[in-house]
Structure 1
Amino acid sequence: MRRNLFVITGGPGVGKTTLINELKEAGFFVVEEDARKIIQAQMFEDGNALPWKNKKLYAKLMLETSVSSYREIKEKQLSNPVFFDRGILDAICYMTMENIPISSEMTAMALACPYAHQVFILPPWKEIYETDNERKQTWKEAVYTFERMKETYLSYGYEIIELPKADVETRREFIKKKINQS
Protein backbone atom coordinates (compact mmCIF):
# COMPACT_ATOMS: atom_id res chain seq x y z
CA MET A 1 0.00 0.00 0.00
CA ARG A 2 1.11 3.56 -0.68
CA ARG A 3 1.35 5.09 2.79
CA ASN A 4 0.92 8.69 1.60
CA LEU A 5 -1.95 8.37 -0.92
CA PHE A 6 -5.19 8.91 0.99
CA VAL A 7 -8.76 8.52 -0.29
CA ILE A 8 -11.60 10.71 0.90
CA THR A 9 -14.90 9.12 -0.04
CA GLY A 10 -18.55 8.78 0.88
CA GLY A 11 -21.92 9.25 -0.70
CA PRO A 12 -22.84 12.38 -2.63
CA GLY A 13 -23.35 15.74 -0.92
CA VAL A 14 -21.44 15.09 2.31
CA GLY A 15 -18.75 17.77 1.99
CA LYS A 16 -15.95 15.88 0.24
CA THR A 17 -15.11 18.62 -2.23
CA THR A 18 -15.27 21.29 0.47
CA LEU A 19 -12.86 19.22 2.56
CA ILE A 20 -10.54 18.59 -0.40
CA ASN A 21 -10.42 22.34 -1.05
CA GLU A 22 -9.68 22.97 2.62
CA LEU A 23 -6.82 20.47 2.56
CA LYS A 24 -5.46 22.13 -0.58
CA GLU A 25 -5.56 25.54 1.12
CA ALA A 26 -3.71 23.99 4.07
CA GLY A 27 -0.87 23.09 1.70
CA PHE A 28 -1.63 19.46 0.91
CA PHE A 29 -1.48 18.04 -2.60
CA VAL A 30 -4.98 17.04 -3.71
CA VAL A 31 -6.51 15.23 -6.67
CA GLU A 32 -9.95 16.49 -7.59
CA GLU A 33 -12.85 14.13 -8.25
CA ASP A 34 -12.70 12.50 -11.68
CA ALA A 35 -16.40 11.58 -11.79
CA ARG A 36 -17.56 15.19 -11.57
CA LYS A 37 -15.08 16.23 -14.28
CA ILE A 38 -16.45 13.48 -16.56
CA ILE A 39 -20.03 14.60 -15.95
CA GLN A 40 -19.17 18.25 -16.65
CA ALA A 41 -17.30 17.38 -19.86
CA GLN A 42 -20.06 15.06 -21.08
CA MET A 43 -22.73 17.68 -20.40
CA PHE A 44 -20.69 20.31 -22.25
CA GLU A 45 -20.19 17.97 -25.23
CA ASP A 46 -23.77 16.66 -25.06
CA GLY A 47 -22.21 13.23 -24.59
CA ASN A 48 -23.79 9.96 -23.47
CA ALA A 49 -21.32 8.91 -20.74
CA LEU A 50 -23.55 10.20 -17.96
CA PRO A 51 -25.02 8.27 -15.02
CA TRP A 52 -28.54 9.16 -16.19
CA LYS A 53 -27.88 8.24 -19.86
CA ASN A 54 -25.28 5.47 -20.31
CA LYS A 55 -24.20 4.15 -16.91
CA LYS A 56 -21.90 1.51 -18.36
CA LEU A 57 -19.94 4.00 -20.49
CA TYR A 58 -19.84 6.48 -17.60
CA ALA A 59 -18.49 3.78 -15.24
CA LYS A 60 -15.85 2.73 -17.78
CA LEU A 61 -14.66 6.34 -18.16
CA MET A 62 -14.72 6.83 -14.39
CA LEU A 63 -12.55 3.75 -13.80
CA GLU A 64 -10.08 4.57 -16.58
CA THR A 65 -9.77 8.20 -15.52
CA SER A 66 -9.30 7.27 -11.85
CA VAL A 67 -6.53 4.81 -12.73
CA SER A 68 -4.89 7.42 -14.94
CA SER A 69 -5.02 10.03 -12.15
CA TYR A 70 -3.54 7.53 -9.69
CA ARG A 71 -0.67 6.62 -12.04
CA GLU A 72 0.05 10.26 -12.75
CA ILE A 73 0.43 10.97 -9.03
CA LYS A 74 2.45 7.81 -8.40
CA GLU A 75 4.93 8.83 -11.12
CA LYS A 76 5.56 12.11 -9.30
CA GLN A 77 6.86 10.09 -6.32
CA LEU A 78 5.58 12.62 -3.82
CA SER A 79 6.61 11.93 -0.25
CA ASN A 80 4.07 14.19 1.48
CA PRO A 81 0.42 13.17 1.90
CA VAL A 82 -1.78 13.31 -1.20
CA PHE A 83 -5.58 13.33 -0.91
CA PHE A 84 -7.85 11.93 -3.61
CA ASP A 85 -11.46 13.13 -3.85
CA ARG A 86 -12.73 9.56 -4.36
CA GLY A 87 -10.57 6.59 -5.34
CA ILE A 88 -10.55 3.87 -7.95
CA LEU A 89 -12.74 1.66 -5.77
CA ASP A 90 -15.47 4.30 -5.95
CA ALA A 91 -15.80 3.37 -9.64
CA ILE A 92 -15.88 -0.33 -8.75
CA CYS A 93 -18.53 0.37 -6.11
CA TYR A 94 -20.62 2.34 -8.61
CA MET A 95 -20.44 -0.55 -11.06
CA THR A 96 -21.58 -2.99 -8.37
CA MET A 97 -24.46 -0.72 -7.36
CA GLU A 98 -25.59 -0.44 -10.99
CA ASN A 99 -25.16 -4.15 -11.75
CA ILE A 100 -22.47 -3.43 -14.33
CA PRO A 101 -20.19 -6.46 -14.79
CA ILE A 102 -16.70 -6.04 -13.34
CA SER A 103 -14.11 -7.91 -15.37
CA SER A 104 -11.05 -9.55 -13.88
CA GLU A 105 -9.04 -6.90 -15.75
CA MET A 106 -10.92 -4.13 -13.91
CA THR A 107 -10.34 -5.82 -10.56
CA ALA A 108 -6.66 -6.21 -11.40
CA MET A 109 -6.46 -2.50 -12.25
CA ALA A 110 -7.93 -1.61 -8.84
CA LEU A 111 -5.58 -3.96 -7.00
CA ALA A 112 -2.55 -2.61 -8.89
CA CYS A 113 -3.23 0.89 -7.56
CA PRO A 114 -3.14 0.69 -3.76
CA TYR A 115 -3.75 3.69 -1.50
CA ALA A 116 -2.84 4.23 2.15
CA HIS A 117 -4.46 1.62 4.40
CA GLN A 118 -6.69 4.24 6.02
CA VAL A 119 -9.59 5.51 3.92
CA PHE A 120 -11.50 8.55 5.16
CA ILE A 121 -15.25 8.34 4.65
CA LEU A 122 -17.73 11.12 5.21
CA PRO A 123 -21.10 9.95 6.55
CA PRO A 124 -24.48 11.00 5.18
CA TRP A 125 -25.41 14.40 6.61
CA LYS A 126 -28.96 15.42 5.74
CA GLU A 127 -28.54 19.01 6.96
CA ILE A 128 -25.95 19.80 4.27
CA TYR A 129 -27.19 17.51 1.48
CA GLU A 130 -28.19 19.23 -1.77
CA THR A 131 -28.68 18.18 -5.36
CA ASP A 132 -27.34 20.12 -8.35
CA ASN A 133 -26.87 19.74 -12.13
CA GLU A 134 -24.32 16.94 -11.63
CA ARG A 135 -25.63 15.43 -8.39
CA LYS A 136 -29.11 14.09 -8.94
CA GLN A 137 -29.32 11.33 -6.32
CA THR A 138 -32.08 11.33 -3.73
CA TRP A 139 -31.25 11.37 -0.02
CA LYS A 140 -32.09 7.65 0.15
CA GLU A 141 -29.65 6.96 -2.71
CA ALA A 142 -26.98 9.02 -0.96
CA VAL A 143 -27.29 6.91 2.20
CA TYR A 144 -27.24 3.71 0.15
CA THR A 145 -24.09 4.88 -1.65
CA PHE A 146 -22.35 5.54 1.67
CA GLU A 147 -23.11 2.01 2.88
CA ARG A 148 -21.90 0.42 -0.37
CA MET A 149 -18.69 2.54 -0.35
CA LYS A 150 -17.93 1.33 3.15
CA GLU A 151 -18.50 -2.30 2.15
CA THR A 152 -16.38 -1.95 -1.00
CA TYR A 153 -13.32 -0.48 0.71
CA LEU A 154 -13.57 -2.97 3.58
CA SER A 155 -13.80 -5.88 1.13
CA TYR A 156 -10.51 -4.73 -0.44
CA GLY A 157 -8.79 -4.68 2.96
CA TYR A 158 -8.84 -0.98 3.78
CA GLU A 159 -9.48 0.47 7.22
CA ILE A 160 -12.44 2.85 7.20
CA ILE A 161 -12.17 6.01 9.27
CA GLU A 162 -15.47 7.86 9.51
CA LEU A 163 -15.13 11.61 9.80
CA PRO A 164 -17.28 13.55 12.25
CA LYS A 165 -20.24 15.63 11.10
CA ALA A 166 -18.51 18.90 11.85
CA ASP A 167 -17.27 22.08 10.21
CA VAL A 168 -14.55 21.75 7.58
CA GLU A 169 -11.77 22.99 9.89
CA THR A 170 -12.60 20.28 12.45
CA ARG A 171 -12.62 17.66 9.73
CA ARG A 172 -9.25 18.89 8.39
CA GLU A 173 -7.68 18.70 11.86
CA PHE A 174 -9.21 15.24 12.43
CA ILE A 175 -7.53 13.99 9.24
CA LYS A 176 -4.21 15.64 10.06
CA LYS A 177 -4.21 13.98 13.48
CA LYS A 178 -5.02 10.55 11.99
CA ILE A 179 -2.34 10.68 9.28
CA ASN A 180 0.26 11.79 11.81
CA GLN A 181 -0.59 8.73 13.92
CA SER A 182 -0.03 6.29 11.04
Structure 2
Amino acid sequence: MEPKKIVITGGPSTGKTSIVEKIELMGLPCIHEISRSITLEAREQGIQQLFVTDPLLFSKKLTEGRIKQFFEASKIPAEHVFMDRGLPDVVAYMDCFDQKYDQSFIEACETYTYDAVFLLPPWKEIYATDGERYENYDEALRIHDCLEASYQKYGYKTIHVPKGTVAERLSFILNKVKN
Protein backbone atom coordinates (compact mmCIF):
# COMPACT_ATOMS: atom_id res chain seq x y z
CA MET A 1 0.00 0.00 0.00
CA GLU A 2 1.27 3.45 -0.91
CA PRO A 3 1.98 5.78 2.03
CA LYS A 4 -0.11 8.86 2.67
CA LYS A 5 1.72 11.99 1.60
CA ILE A 6 1.45 14.71 4.24
CA VAL A 7 2.54 18.23 3.27
CA ILE A 8 3.81 20.72 5.82
CA THR A 9 3.81 24.19 4.32
CA GLY A 10 3.77 27.85 5.21
CA GLY A 11 5.49 31.07 4.32
CA PRO A 12 9.11 31.76 5.10
CA SER A 13 10.28 31.33 8.70
CA THR A 14 7.15 29.70 10.10
CA GLY A 15 8.89 26.70 11.66
CA LYS A 16 8.42 24.11 8.89
CA THR A 17 11.98 22.88 8.86
CA SER A 18 12.13 22.55 12.66
CA ILE A 19 8.98 20.43 12.63
CA VAL A 20 10.14 18.25 9.73
CA GLU A 21 13.52 17.70 11.41
CA LYS A 22 11.79 16.69 14.66
CA ILE A 23 9.53 14.27 12.76
CA GLU A 24 12.61 12.76 11.18
CA LEU A 25 14.31 12.42 14.58
CA MET A 26 11.29 10.36 15.64
CA GLY A 27 12.17 7.92 12.85
CA LEU A 28 9.30 8.91 10.56
CA PRO A 29 10.08 9.36 6.86
CA CYS A 30 10.45 12.93 5.61
CA ILE A 31 11.09 14.54 2.25
CA HIS A 32 12.99 17.80 2.63
CA GLU A 33 12.51 21.14 0.90
CA ILE A 34 14.64 21.42 -2.24
CA SER A 35 14.61 25.15 -2.99
CA ARG A 36 17.82 25.77 -1.03
CA SER A 37 19.66 23.03 -2.93
CA ILE A 38 18.48 24.51 -6.25
CA THR A 39 19.68 27.94 -5.10
CA LEU A 40 23.06 26.55 -4.01
CA GLU A 41 23.45 24.59 -7.26
CA ALA A 42 22.82 27.79 -9.23
CA ARG A 43 25.40 29.64 -7.12
CA GLU A 44 27.96 27.01 -8.00
CA GLN A 45 27.19 27.88 -11.63
CA GLY A 46 27.71 31.59 -10.95
CA ILE A 47 24.07 32.62 -10.53
CA GLN A 48 23.79 34.33 -7.15
CA GLN A 49 19.99 34.15 -6.77
CA LEU A 50 18.25 32.06 -9.43
CA PHE A 51 14.80 32.97 -8.06
CA VAL A 52 15.52 36.62 -8.91
CA THR A 53 17.62 36.12 -12.07
CA ASP A 54 15.34 33.58 -13.79
CA PRO A 55 12.24 32.93 -11.68
CA LEU A 56 10.56 30.72 -14.28
CA LEU A 57 13.60 28.43 -14.54
CA PHE A 58 13.76 28.29 -10.73
CA SER A 59 10.08 27.32 -10.61
CA LYS A 60 10.54 24.68 -13.33
CA LYS A 61 13.43 23.14 -11.39
CA LEU A 62 11.30 23.15 -8.22
CA THR A 63 8.40 21.49 -10.03
CA GLU A 64 10.64 18.82 -11.55
CA GLY A 65 12.25 18.18 -8.18
CA ARG A 66 8.96 17.97 -6.33
CA ILE A 67 7.52 15.54 -8.89
CA LYS A 68 10.61 13.38 -8.37
CA GLN A 69 10.08 13.64 -4.60
CA PHE A 70 6.43 12.63 -5.05
CA PHE A 71 7.51 9.38 -6.71
CA GLU A 72 10.24 8.80 -4.12
CA ALA A 73 7.66 9.23 -1.34
CA SER A 74 5.38 6.68 -3.02
CA LYS A 75 8.08 4.02 -2.70
CA ILE A 76 8.77 4.50 1.02
CA PRO A 77 7.45 1.56 3.04
CA ALA A 78 5.57 3.52 5.70
CA GLU A 79 2.06 4.58 6.59
CA HIS A 80 2.85 8.30 6.17
CA VAL A 81 5.55 10.36 4.50
CA PHE A 82 5.93 13.97 5.60
CA MET A 83 6.91 16.47 2.93
CA ASP A 84 8.36 19.95 3.44
CA ARG A 85 6.24 21.78 0.83
CA GLY A 86 4.29 20.44 -2.14
CA LEU A 87 3.67 21.27 -5.79
CA PRO A 88 0.99 23.92 -5.16
CA ASP A 89 3.66 25.92 -3.30
CA VAL A 90 5.40 26.56 -6.63
CA VAL A 91 2.25 28.02 -8.20
CA ALA A 92 1.50 29.97 -5.02
CA TYR A 93 4.85 31.74 -5.14
CA MET A 94 4.48 32.49 -8.85
CA ASP A 95 0.99 33.89 -8.26
CA CYS A 96 2.23 35.89 -5.30
CA PHE A 97 4.97 37.54 -7.35
CA ASP A 98 2.83 37.95 -10.51
CA GLN A 99 4.89 35.53 -12.61
CA LYS A 100 3.44 34.17 -15.82
CA TYR A 101 3.54 30.40 -16.21
CA ASP A 102 2.25 27.76 -18.56
CA GLN A 103 -0.28 24.97 -18.14
CA SER A 104 2.40 22.41 -17.16
CA PHE A 105 2.56 23.88 -13.65
CA ILE A 106 -1.20 23.59 -13.23
CA GLU A 107 -1.21 20.04 -14.61
CA ALA A 108 1.49 19.02 -12.13
CA CYS A 109 -0.64 20.29 -9.24
CA GLU A 110 -3.69 18.47 -10.56
CA THR A 111 -1.86 15.21 -11.30
CA TYR A 112 0.29 14.73 -8.19
CA THR A 113 -1.93 15.08 -5.14
CA TYR A 114 -1.35 14.82 -1.41
CA ASP A 115 -3.43 13.29 1.35
CA ALA A 116 -3.25 16.15 3.86
CA VAL A 117 -1.84 19.68 3.97
CA PHE A 118 -0.78 21.40 7.18
CA LEU A 119 -0.37 25.17 6.89
CA LEU A 120 1.78 27.04 9.40
CA PRO A 121 0.87 30.69 10.03
CA PRO A 122 3.15 33.71 9.78
CA TRP A 123 4.79 34.29 13.15
CA LYS A 124 6.62 37.56 13.62
CA GLU A 125 8.39 36.46 16.82
CA ILE A 126 10.29 33.66 15.08
CA TYR A 127 10.70 35.36 11.70
CA ALA A 128 14.29 35.60 10.45
CA THR A 129 16.05 36.04 7.11
CA ASP A 130 19.22 34.34 5.88
CA GLY A 131 21.30 33.87 2.73
CA GLU A 132 18.57 31.97 0.88
CA ARG A 133 15.52 33.66 2.42
CA TYR A 134 15.23 37.27 1.38
CA GLU A 135 11.51 38.00 1.85
CA ASN A 136 10.57 40.55 4.49
CA TYR A 137 7.79 39.88 6.99
CA ASP A 138 5.12 41.71 4.97
CA GLU A 139 5.99 39.53 1.97
CA ALA A 140 5.79 36.48 4.24
CA LEU A 141 2.22 37.46 5.14
CA ARG A 142 1.32 37.77 1.46
CA ILE A 143 2.99 34.42 0.69
CA HIS A 144 0.92 32.75 3.41
CA ASP A 145 -2.28 34.00 1.79
CA CYS A 146 -1.09 32.85 -1.64
CA LEU A 147 -0.22 29.40 -0.27
CA GLU A 148 -3.65 28.98 1.24
CA ALA A 149 -5.34 30.16 -1.96
CA SER A 150 -3.23 27.83 -4.10
CA TYR A 151 -3.96 24.72 -2.04
CA GLN A 152 -7.66 25.60 -1.96
CA LYS A 153 -7.64 26.11 -5.73
CA TYR A 154 -6.46 22.50 -6.13
CA GLY A 155 -9.13 21.13 -3.80
CA TYR A 156 -7.28 20.87 -0.49
CA LYS A 157 -8.70 21.79 2.88
CA THR A 158 -5.65 23.13 4.65
CA ILE A 159 -5.25 22.25 8.31
CA HIS A 160 -4.05 25.31 10.23
CA VAL A 161 -1.28 24.51 12.71
CA PRO A 162 -1.48 26.70 15.81
CA LYS A 163 1.53 28.61 17.11
CA GLY A 164 3.38 26.92 19.95
CA THR A 165 6.53 25.02 20.72
CA VAL A 166 7.87 22.60 18.14
CA ALA A 167 6.67 19.75 20.37
CA GLU A 168 3.15 21.22 20.63
CA ARG A 169 2.91 21.80 16.91
CA LEU A 170 4.25 18.33 16.17
CA SER A 171 1.74 16.78 18.56
CA PHE A 172 -1.08 18.66 16.80
CA ILE A 173 0.05 17.39 13.38
CA LEU A 174 0.54 13.78 14.49
CA ASN A 175 -2.85 13.71 16.25
CA LYS A 176 -4.58 14.99 13.10
CA VAL A 177 -2.75 12.46 10.91
CA LYS A 178 -3.86 9.58 13.16
CA ASN A 179 -7.52 10.63 13.05
Shorter-normalised TM-score: what interval?
A: over 0.9
Is 2:7 the counterpart of 1:10?
no
Match of 1:159 in 2: 157
- The CA deviation at 1:97 is 1.9
Separation in structure 1 between the aligned mates of residue 25 and residue 100 of structure 2, nearest angstrom: 39
Residue 132 of structure 1: which of 130, 133, 137 is its match?
A: 130
**Contact (CA 8 Å) 1:123, 1:163: kept in 2 or not?**
yes
**Contact (CA 8 Å) 1:63, 1:92: kept in 2 or not?**
no
Identity %: 31
Match of 1:60 in 2: 60
Q: Deviations over 1:76-120 (max 9, x none)?
A: 15341111100011111122223333322222222111100x310
5 Å matches for 1:81-160?
81-116=80-115, 118-160=116-158
Separation in structure 2 between the aligned mates of residue 153 and residue 109 of structure 1, nearest angstrom: 13
Q: Quote the RMSD (CA, aligned, Å).
A: 1.6
Match of 1:70 in 2: 70
- The CA deviation at 1:48 is 6.3
TM-score, normalization by structure 1:
0.91
Q: Which residue identity is paired with 1:38? A: I
Separation in structure 2 between the aligned mates of residue 154 and residue 104 of structure 1, nearest angstrom: 18
**Contact (CA 8 Å) 1:31, 1:84: kept in 2 or not?**
yes
Structure 2 unaligned residues grouped into runs of 5+? none
SS at match of 1:119: strand
Q: Deviations over 1:136-168 (max 9, x none)?
A: 000000010001000110111111111111110
TM-score, normalization by structure 2:
0.93
SS at match of 2:52: coil
Q: Which residue identity is paired with 2:66? A: S
**Contact (CA 8 Å) 1:48, 1:54: kept in 2 or not?**
no
Q: Which residue identity is paired with 1:19? A: I
